[in-house]
Amino acid sequence: MKKLINAVENVVREQLEGMASAHADVLKVSYEPTFIYRADAPVANKVALISGGGSGHEPMHGGFVGKGMLDAACPGEVFTSPTPDQMYAAGSAVNSGAGVLYIVKNYTGDVLNFEAAAEMLAGEGVPVQSILIDDDAAVKDSLYTAGRRGVGATVITEKITGAAAEAGYDLLQCADLCRKVNTSSRSIGVALTSCIVPAAGKPTFDLGDGEFEFGIGIHGEPGRRRLPMASVDEITEMMASAILDDGVYTRTVREWDQARGEWVDKELVNAPLRSGDGVIAFVNSMGGTPVSELYAMYRKLSGLLDARGIRIARNLIGPYITSLEMQGASITLVKVDDEILKFWDAPVLTPGLRWGV
Amino acid sequence: MKKLINAVENVVREQLEGMASAHADVLKVSYEPTFIYRADAPVANKVALISGGGSGHEPMHGGFVGKGMLDAACPGEVFTSPTPDQMYAAGSAVNSGAGVLYIVKNYTGDVLNFEAAAEMLAGEGVPVQSILIDDDAAVKDSLYTAGRRGVGATVITEKITGAAAEAGYDLLQCADLCRKVNTSSRSIGVALTSCIVPAAGKPTFDLGDGEFEFGIGIHGEPGRRRLPMASVDEITEMMASAILDDGVYTRTVREWDQARGEWVDKELVNAPLRSGDGVIAFVNSMGGTPVSELYAMYRKLSGLLDARGIRIARNLIGPYITSLEMQGASITLVKVDDEILKFWDAPVLTPGLRWGV
Amino acid sequence: MVTKEQIVRWLERLASVLAENKAYLTDLDSAIGDADHGTNMARGFAKVAEKLVSVADTDIGNILKATGMTLMSSVGGASGPLYGTFFMRGGAVTASREELSVEDLGEMLHAGMQGIQQRGRAIAEDKTMIDAWIPALAAYDTARIAGEDTAAALRRAVAGAEAGMKATIPLQARKGRASYLGERSIGHQDPGATSTYLMLKALLDTLESS
Amino acid sequence: MVTKEQIVRWLERLASVLAENKAYLTDLDSAIGDADHGTNMARGFAKVAEKLVSVADTDIGNILKATGMTLMSSVGGASGPLYGTFFMRGGAVTASREELSVEDLGEMLHAGMQGIQQRGRAIAEDKTMIDAWIPALAAYDTARIAGEDTAAALRRAVAGAEAGMKATIPLQARKGRASYLGERSIGHQDPGATSTYLMLKALLDTLESS
Ligand SMILES: Nc1ncnc2c1ncn2[C@@H]1O[C@H](COP(=O)(O)OP(=O)(O)O)[C@@H](O)[C@H]1O
Ligand SMILES: Nc1ncnc2c1ncn2[C@@H]1O[C@H](COP(=O)(O)OP(=O)(O)O)[C@@H](O)[C@H]1O
Ligand SMILES: [Mg+2]
Ligand SMILES: [Mg+2]
Ligand SMILES: [Mg+2]
Ligand SMILES: [Mg+2]
């Protein structure tokens, strides 16, 4: 393992210190418990957006803290979900009174920890909503699994909901929009190499020179299947089909009912993409794949979407939700409407995503 | 070799096609000869900035084409300098009449090809200036070498000179500013792994598990020395000293004399950084190193600069001038003044660098 | 009867048991998870051992709650909030107690397990820690109703947990990270069921060694 | 005397010689450069061979200029503009010629070499292609002044280039990419000097085979 780190125990802490000193105008970092928050938080009358998860996916989530996106992010150890005390403390710190929206990637660890935090925060009288992101089309069902994992759509929902919060959406409106973006999203990822978790010191999995893993999550967890290495056109075609040929996806998720002060089940449905739809096409590097290769993937993807009558309304291409230095890529397609596009185009000023300011 | 590519012969072309379709609002791509140019070029009354070099360093240079930065970029094959016909055609296409400034990284191949292009363009009566970027402090002298290589400062000069051109600087003013930024810059890079050039199919060099290369250029060419792997703090300290303890650097470069219509020798001097100076601190990933590790490097760097009384006025952290998927990083420090800061802060809208718009 | 001192010694013992079994649990987790269950549990209980110094003099309810809170904020992953909830719920039903009868201990364990189920929503045969808790508590209850004492009932519980833990091997996971493996999760013992077994075993060993 | 047809056959032969020596030149370049000199030269002269079809009927000056332009726009790297300049300058001094005397050929080679020197600014012993050109042209001139014919003078030139090429081995590079290696460049033969030798050798072989 060769990495630009000091002792493995201090990796996350030191990286956060670097981030805090690099972006002091945009964000601050609290330690014990650890969370990253907007330098100007709490922002009066604005719903506070908080996300979090294991470290190692940078710029997500800490790099998306700032104007027009997240109010706080809670980083766990590398690839380990953060704990409720972080999420609770972050919620207390950035809540302006307009309430807190937790954006939670659907990994059991993240979900359970955020649930505990939501209960704690709601117990203090803070208005809380919690929305699950579960866009990974590699997972077929939610009956025999913990449901689809939260992957690329996380970046898109954080951007769009962040802009809506900035524009004055209230807590329930923010939650509704966040849920809508999630149920309009599907993703699929591939890995060409494994990454190395610093504390482990060796590759998470072994991938032969001639194979790639199709349908990974964001930690290099096993995907749908391992396949012989193929061309970018072939891989992109497989990825696009996994998204475009995916049927209706229905599942039950748990959301916090503010009025009743308890968790309630909610049925969510993702409709398939259809000819005539417009999408945000997000082509993401898992970290080690250079942006040049993403362009080759985008080239093929745009041809395939064109052939299906699907219009790319916006795109985002680069390393935004990564797995350390893993080589690989993911594609996320988000069906858009005017509301989504408006908030996508709105200004954002974070270390990881910036435009309009 | 595992990469998201099709046939190796088509790598650059297909990536450019993807780029063109992804960023049609910002840029266009011409093939035969190949160059990337601003969608709205030529921009009336504006000096046109053109750079170029081998492919494989993305987002540089093509990703820096757009408002407030480059008017055109000429990509060669991977790690191979482009040819004069590309640079000449790009110059003809984007020249509005205000002239063309070539920004040339000091690699013999780039230099000789750009010189031939400048002569061709000047021969057509187009006002031409050509500025060499040579900021690589890893190269000790210019008497026994081809001089310092052009590395990280390229990104910074393209940004700053691009903003000045946008603000109405004429050709000689742009050239002067570009030269000033270059003579205010020093860089140093390290590689932890080699990259694989698609056409070669195997790593450019072998680096043992326990070693890193100190003082590389941007292709993984041999550096100052190969050392046992060390902590990020130790590596950053070595890198910072290479820049901060570098004495006066004097060399003679060839610039085009528009009036005389010939190349003239110019003596350039980089003064050492001193306590009280303000800098742009650019911490760059060679591609495969995740941004989180750059933050660890930035953390140490900012401490070291602090101790020397050098103030970080601005920073840029991420993969901007890369070597395919190589793991490693570079540090560039650019001494600033009000003019440099003003143009650094000015709006820029390119696929690779964007703010203020 | 379980005294407050025994509860403290149990938690201390558990901290060393989990430190010893760190690699074992992580190996189990690397087969069907993300290779961190041992690290997570060892980290959490090391914190609990530190915390015990300041709460050992209070009552059982408080000690268990402090344990739960500490686990909550130091374990992370799926197991953190699950075991955290277990101890917090266990603490809630043993507030201000200095010792626990065989019934009290049963109530504590049931409250804890219910917390795990509410939080994690796993049911029997999902291949989770629940598959150790269910047979353990069933065995405990049977013994208790038959009039056996705490140590005897716990001995049954540990046997039940061990059987349940082993019975996870042929199961296909339907909850947690392992569920994404589908059929590939078959043939591996669940790490969380294993840490549950170790937890009950440490309690039994504490009672038997005093 | 060198005829226009021989010039064309020379360039065609050179294209195959460079294709054959692609790996050899690239290997030399991988020791002290970036492992592309063979690829660069083979690519460039393949283009020249294509181009020849449309210019073979014009004059020598034009053929050489077209060769130079083609190399310029297809080789890249340091060698592209250097060899491109060589042929363009060579073409400039042979405008509208159908054949070259031993003096004409000497003038052409000198003009070309001067172009390389003006462009690249290398001097003797910088460990570049110049180290093959200088002894080659010195030998050519001596033979020409001594009254030898074109083939004989060229035979001397090729021997001079070969000696110069080999003499680059002990040199430390001071120009081009290899210069960054400092002392580590010692002990390797310069790839550009090698392609220069192959270029002159191909011309000689063309004359001798007709
Ligand atoms: N929904 C659930 N209910 C009960 N236990 C669960 C659930 N999900 C996972 N687990 C348990 O958690 C264990 C894994 O814990 P751990 O490795 O610490 O967390 P993570 O899976 O987040 O890395 C599994 O072996 C399983 O026993
Ligand atoms: N300044 C120079 N003058 C003359 N020849 C040079 C100069 N710099 C480099 N060369 C020649 O170019 C050769 C390398 O060419 P090539 O590998 O095609 O280009 P690059 O070095 O850009 O990859 C060297 O072996 C050397 O002979
Ligand atoms: Mg985990
Ligand atoms: Mg080259
Ligand atoms: Mg785990
Ligand atoms: Mg070369």
**B270-286 per-position pLDDT tens digit:** 999 999 999 999 999 99
What pLDDT, on a 0 to 100 scale, did the predictor assign at position A193?
95
Q: Is C22 on the interface with A (CB under 8 A)?
A: no
pLDDT per residue as tens digits for the range B318-337? 999 999 999 999 999 999 99
- pLDDT, averaged across chain B: 96
What pLDDT, on a 0 to 100 scale, did the predictor assign at position A220?
74
Q: Is A295 on the interface with B (CB under 8 A)?
A: yes
Beta bridge partners of B264: B255
Distance between A110 CA and the closest CA of chain B, angstroms: 21
Q: Write out the residue limits of the CATH 3.30.1180.20 domain(s) in chain B.
A: 187-244+274-335
Beta strands at B249-257 and B35-38: parallel, antiparallel or unpaired? unpaired
What's the topology of domain C2-209? 1.25.40
Q: Which of B57-61, B255-259, D139-143 has the lowest mean pLDDT?
A: B255-259
Q: Which of A279-293, B211-225, D17-31 has the lowest mean pLDDT?
A: B211-225
Nearest alpha carbon, ligand 1 atom 25: C192
Nearest alpha carbon, ligand 1 atom 1: C120
**Residue in chain D nearest B253 by alpha carbon:** D121
Residue with tokens 């250097």: D82
What pLDDT, on a 0 to 100 scale, did the predictor assign at position D154?
98
* Contact list, A199 vs chain C (CB under 8 Å): 39
Tell me, yes or no, whether chains C and D touch by having 3 or more C-beta pairs under 8 A.
Answer: no
**CATH superfamily for domain A187-244+274-335:** Dihydroxyacetone kinase; domain 2 (3.30.1180.20)
What pLDDT, on a 0 to 100 scale, did the predictor assign at position A219?
84
What pLDDT, on a 0 to 100 scale, did the predictor assign at position A204?
83
What pLDDT, on a 0 to 100 scale, did the predictor assign at position A206?
85
What pLDDT, on a 0 to 100 scale, did the predictor assign at position C210?
75
What pLDDT, on a 0 to 100 scale, did the predictor assign at position C203?
98
- pLDDT, averaged across chain C: 96
What pLDDT, on a 0 to 100 scale, did the predictor assign at position A10?
97
How many whole angstroms from its chain centre is CA A85?
21
pLDDT above 80: residue D178:
yes
Q: How far apart are CA B293 and CA A288, in angstroms?
A: 13
Give the one of A4, A17, A63 whose C-beta lies nearest to B232's C-beta.
A4
Strand order in the sheet with B311-318: B225-228, B211-214, B185-191, B328-335, B278-285, B311-318
The stretches in chain A having pLDDT less than 50 are: none
What pLDDT, on a 0 to 100 scale, did the predictor assign at position B113?
97
Distance between D109 CA and the closest CA of chain B, angstroms: 20
What pLDDT, on a 0 to 100 scale, did the predictor assign at position B229?
98
Q: Which of A31, A53, A56, A171 is closest to A117 using CA atoms?
A: A53
Nearest alpha carbon, ligand 2 atom 18: D37
What pLDDT, on a 0 to 100 scale, did the predictor assign at position B141?
83
pLDDT above 90: residue B42:
yes
What pLDDT, on a 0 to 100 scale, did the predictor assign at position B56?
97
Answer yes or no: pTM beyond 0.90: yes
What pLDDT, on a 0 to 100 scale, did the predictor assign at position C21?
98
Tell me, yes or no, whether chains B and D touch by having 3 or more C-beta pairs under 8 A.
Answer: yes
Across the range C159-177, mean pLDDT stands at 97
Across the range B63-85, mean pLDDT stands at 96
CB contact under 8 A, D174 and B145: yes
Residue B219 annotated to the active site: yes
**Best residue in B10, B295, B311, B348 to probe A by mutation, most A CBs within 10 Å?**
B295
Give the one of C73, C119, C176 whose C-beta lies nearest to A146's C-beta.
C176
Ligand nearest to the CA of D77: 2
* Contact list, C40 vs chain A (CB under 8 Å): 80
Across the range D94-109, mean pLDDT stands at 97
Nearest alpha carbon, ligand 1 atom 3: C120
Those residues whose C-beta lies under 8 Å from the C-beta of residue A350, and which sit 6 or more positions away, are A26, A27, A59, A63, A64, A65, A66, A67, A68, A69, A70
pLDDT above 90: residue B140:
no
What pLDDT, on a 0 to 100 scale, did the predictor assign at position A16?
98
Q: Which of A191, A188, A219, A223 is closest to A207 using CA atoms?
A: A191
How many whole angstroms from its chain centre is CA B166?
19
What pLDDT, on a 0 to 100 scale, did the predictor assign at position A34?
98
Distance between B273 CA and the closest CA of chain A, angstroms: 20
Q: How far apart are CA A290 and CA A292, in angstroms?
A: 5
pLDDT above 90: residue B142:
no
Share of chain B above pLDDT 70, in %: 100
What pLDDT, on a 0 to 100 scale, did the predictor assign at position A144?
85
Across the range D13-42, mean pLDDT stands at 95
Residue B23 annotated to the active site: no
Q: Write out the residue limits of the CATH 3.40.50.10440 domain(s) in chain B.
A: 13-183+249-269
- Ligand 3 centroid – CA C176 distance (Å): 10
Q: Is A147 on the interface with B (CB under 8 A)?
A: no
pLDDT per residue as tens digits for the range A277-303? 999 999 999 999 999 999 999 999 999
Q: How far apart are CA B5 and CA A73, in angstroms?
A: 35
- Ligand 4 centroid – CA D69 distance (Å): 19
pLDDT per residue as tens digits for the range B222-248? 778 899 999 999 999 999 999 999 999
What pLDDT, on a 0 to 100 scale, did the predictor assign at position B217?
87
What pLDDT, on a 0 to 100 scale, did the predictor assign at position D5?
97
The preferred substitution site among A108, A113, A263 for testing ligand 1, maximizing ligand atoms within 8 Å of CB, is A108
What kind and span of H or E run contains A188? strand A185-191
The CATH-assigned architecture of domain A13-183+249-269 is 3-Layer(aba) Sandwich (3.40)
Chain A residue set in contact with C, beta carbons under 8 Å? 33, 76-77, 79-86, 107-109, 112-113, 115-116, 139, 143-146, 149, 199-200, 204, 217, 219, 221-222
